[in-house]
Structure 1
Amino acid sequence: MSAHESMEHAEHAEHASGENKKIALLIAVIALCLALSETLGKGAQTESISKNVEASNLWAFFQAKSIRRTSVQTAAEQGKLNLATTTDEAAKAALQKQIDDWQKTAARYRSEPETGEGSEQLSERAKHAEHERDEATAKYHHFELASAAFQIA
């Protein structure tokens, strides 16, 4: 091989080496994007599961409060029926006080803004948790699609 051919061969190798470096850099950037997409996707998936559990717990608490409220309202209604047939004034007064307490308790079970544990507040909190769950699930699916695109690239 002549000196001229050797020089030309070296120039081609140098040129190919520069292209290989660019390709390697591109692959590294795509791999970085894939890693970020996978990490963010797993985070969104974890948040979705967490919000689903939170919503389920809040709906269970809501149901428990509704059952308690119904029981107390039923007791108050039964007390009203008994009040009509009671003739002793002291017994009537005691029964009326108990009925009033039951009605206050039923109202508290329906709405308790101080603690956020009335059935109305629990319902709102559960709906909010469901909304956050749905958003996190959508994010997760988008990150999964992005991961697939980076893997194809």
Structure 2
Amino acid sequence: MVQVRTYRAAELPVVLARGAASARDQLVAREVPLAREDAVRYQFHTMYRMVLATPDSALLVADPDGGGPVGHVLLLPQANPFTGAPEVVVMDIWVHPDLRARGIGSRLLVEAERHARRIGARGLVAQIALHNAASLALFNRAGFAAERVVAGKGW
């Protein structure tokens, strides 16, 4: 079974590099032409700094053999903007491409929910790009249901 644990400080640069490299895949079609690698990386790193500075946030890593992370999930506690109820937002989830479809993402989401419940959250939410079929399938298998659609129009 895959061990999921809190990240170690020495692992953060690896997590950031992997996540930033895959962040471009999360961009929607209207964002791609304007996105610069340095800007995407900067925004990604800024997001991690902000989240990790928030009380009760978590960066959980999947470490199947003690050799270091092969996946991670970044969790941000916040109040639901409509109800005020505490919830946790999955800000980032990533699994090494060679190890996908082996249950690692599912284990990360199980532990994300465990963390959310432990800190008193009433829900776990994520924003997923509609073109990201693999993430949509992962979250659906984990019991998430589509609740809103963010619509965009670029020019």
Q: TM-score, normalised by structure 2?
A: 0.19
The structure whose residues are more often strand, as a share, is 2
Q: TM-score, normalised by structure 1?
A: 0.20
Larger radius of gyration between Structure 1 and Structure 2: 1
The structure whose residues are more often helix, as a share, is 1
The structure with higher relative contact order (CA 8 Å, sep 6+) is 1
